[in-house]
Amino acid sequence: MPATCVVGLQWGDEAKGKIVDLLSDDHDFVVRYNGGANAGHTIVWGSRTFRLSLLPTGVLKPAVKSVIGNGVVVYPPRFLEEVDSLAAAGIPVGDNLTVSDHAHVIFPYHMEEERVVEGASDGGALGTTGRGIGPCYQDKVGRRFAVRVGELLDEDHLRERLQFIVPYKNRLITALAGTSGVAPKAFDPKQVADEFIGYAGRMRPFVTDTSRQLHAGLAAGKNILFEAAQGSLLDVDHGSYPYVTSSSSLPSGIWGGTGVPSRQVARIIGVVKAYTTRVGRGPFPTELADATGERIRKVGREFGTVTGRPRRCGWFDAMAVRYTAQLSGADEITVMLLDVLSGLPELKLCVGYTLDGVDIDYFPSDAYRLERCVPRYETLPGWVEDISTCRTLADLPAAARRYVDRISELAGLSVAVVSVGPDRDQTIRLR
Ligand code: IMP
């Protein structure tokens, strides 16, 4: 079985990029199946740091084919910006990168639609990244006002589509802004078309039927690595709804988002941080709104790659991870950023919740129930040693080993990798 999936088991930012980067050495394809430029993948190679939000992590390796599947929503200027910045860094991007002709296009009016509703003072904001993700997926499912990447390549068709869509969008945005107190911006169909026809000229060589490309790869015995864009708790169906993203970040998104049947995926690697973080709004039972949370944020450099927003930090939530481990079908876990916890006198792990006075042993995935959950903790001793130079499990202080073992027991999965720093070398491989 040739395919592997790397998926975050928390609310995102689990450092999946590092694991995908390590694994991409052994894969022919790295494929994104969901999300858009709302994701933030940081890859550190010695003194060089790369930040990608739309392109698959595999694009750093010219020998690997990087694929943006049909389930992704693509903002063309961002796509080209990332291609250009890699070229400027000496990493050539050419026929090693493809984008599905069936992926949907994000236009500036999607971002405006999001800005107007998120900026409203009506308490309904979800704390989104502002990248137009939700409105674009709404249009995809609604069908009438959506444009796929393949349609960008036919100039007359695109002009006609935008003549039809943009006036509707202007009316919609004005109507939404009517109640929000945010001044709406209007768009000119011709201007939008001119701008996007310009992008299309540069994108053309990358656009293809990626589903066919991947099936040809499978038939030729190639190895595929699927890369989830957001954490499982942000999955539109199974996450902490409505404080989620608008796509399927769980591996269930692979089939729909690439056309590759899930039976091709033989190995699912769940990635967790040694603690928990979350960006944006929504319930977070183990959040630490105190000096410990502040310390984790500072030491872990917990600021959003895409928006720069400070991430909310908290203790490891085993209830959440057991839930997503089950839903994702993870075979093993990798424990990331363990070094960030060095120096804390004691560490807490959430092993249960109390909901409305009743102890429960499951994760309620609706925000309105999750926000009433009070965590029940188990406390383990911390360690003071700097562990960033440890390269084997035996190098770790006993307390750190015990902490990792307990995470493994609570998640019900064995640990394949422990990460003790951002660099490729700062990795303890157990398998
Ligand atoms: P959207 O995906 O921009 O619509 O945002 C929906 C929610 O998902 C917000 O809480 C975002 O902060 C969160 N989110 C989206 N992408 C990521 C990510 O890559 N990492 C962490 N949180 C994310």
Ligand 1 mean position, distance from CA 309 (Å): 11
Say how many Å lie between the CA of residue 237 and the centre of ligand 1.
Answer: 15
Name the residue of 6, 138, 245 to mutate for ligand 1: max ligand atoms within 8 A of Cβ. Answer: 245
pTM over 0.85? The answer is yes
With cut-offs at 50, 70 and 90, classify the pLDDT of residue 249: very high
CB 11 within 8 A of CB 279: yes
Pick from 108, 34, 22: which is nearest to 61 by CA?
Answer: 22
Give me 258's structure tokens.
């690439």
Per-residue tokens: 195: 């701008």
To the query of whether residue 41 is one of the catalytic residues in this protein, the response is: yes
Give the active site residue among 21, 27, 41, 104: 41
Read off the pLDDT of residues 115-124 as tens digits, 9 standing for 90 and up: 999 988 788 8
Over residues 4-51, the pLDDT tens digits come to 999 999 999 999 989 998 998 899 999 999 999 988 788 888 788 888
pLDDT band at 390 (very low <50, low <70, confident <90, very high): very high
Q: Ligand 1 mean position to 279 CA, how many Å?
A: 7
Q: Where is 429: in which H helix or E strand? A: strand 427-429
Question: What whole-number distance in Å separates Cα of residue 299 and Cα of residue 310?
Answer: 12
Q: Is 110 a catalytic site residue?
A: no
CB 67 within 8 A of CB 98: yes
Closest ligand 1 atom number to CA of residue 234: 8
User: In the beta sheet, which residues pair with residue 226?
Assistant: 5, 31
- In this prediction, residue 1 has a pLDDT band, given cuts at 50, 70 and 90, of low
Minimal CA–CA distance to 32: which of 1, 60, 5? 5
The Cα-based distances of 221 to 29, 35, 216, 218 in angstroms read 11, 27, 9, 5
Q: How far is the CA of 112 from the centre of ligand 1 (A)?
A: 17
Q: What is the pLDDT of residues 142-174, one digit of tens each?
A: 999 999 999 999 999 999 999 999 999 999 999
Longest dimension (CA), the chain: 67
What is the Å distance from ligand 1's center to 118 Cα?
A: 13
Ligand 1, CB within 6 Å, residue ranges: 12-13, 38-40, 126-129, 131, 133-134, 230, 234, 243, 245-246, 279-280
DSSP of 306-365: TT-PBPEEE-EEHHHHHHHHHHHT-SEEEEE-GGGGTT-SEEEEEEEEEETTEEE-S---
| pLDDT tens by residue, 175-188 | 999 867 788 999 99
User: Please, what's the b/e burial string for 287-302 (b: 16 or more CB within 10 A of its CB; e: otherwise)?
Assistant: bbeeebbebbbebbeb
Mutate to test the pocket of ligand 1, among 6, 7, 20, 234 (most ligand atoms within 8 A of CB): 234
